[in-house]
Amino acid sequence: MSATLYDKLGGQPTIEKIVDDLHKRILADNTLKPFFANTDMAKQRAHQIAFFSLIFEGPKQYTGRPMDKTHTGMSLQEPHFDAIANHLTEAMAVGGASAEDTKAALDRVSSLKGAILNK
């Protein structure tokens, strides 16, 4: 049996580290920061960790809404998605993910792009 992406990345501790770094980068990005102005970042952190765990084949602990519902009315555009993807790539590198595992993770996130952008 082959290891899941979640396992290859290092499981929960690494996902937590990646999400923490990702949020730091997003909140430092003036094009993205306004989207999180009224967001409870502790709650967002928990949702994001559970979501990444789910899409990276880890424990199924995500109980949030589907991506299209979550992002409805936010008017996210392709440059916003691309900026977050770039920040995620950088956070994964800091978290010690290999280039191969980072690509696999970004492929999974990118597969949700239409739902996230409500297109």
pLDDT digits (tens, 9 = 90+) for 75-90: 889 999 999 999 999 9
Position 68 pLDDT exceeds 70: yes
Rounded to whole angstroms, the Cα distance separating 63 from 2 reads 26
**Which residue ranges make up the annotated binding site?**
47, 71
CATH number of the domain that residue 75 is part of:
1.10.490.10
Q: Please give the residue range of the domain that contains residue 72.
A: 5-116
H-only helix segments in 4-77: 5-9, 11-27, 41-55, 67-70
Rounded to whole angstroms, the Cα distance separating 12 from 112 reads 22
> Would you place residue 95 in the very low, low, confident or very high pLDDT band (cuts 50, 70, 90)?
very high
Output DSSP code: residue 55: H
**Which residue ranges make up the annotated binding site for heme?**
47, 71
Rounded to whole angstroms, the Cα distance separating 12 from 27 reads 22
pTM of the complete model beyond 0.85: yes
Q: Number of structural domains, the chain?
A: 1
Q: What tokens appear for 53 in the block?
A: 């765990």
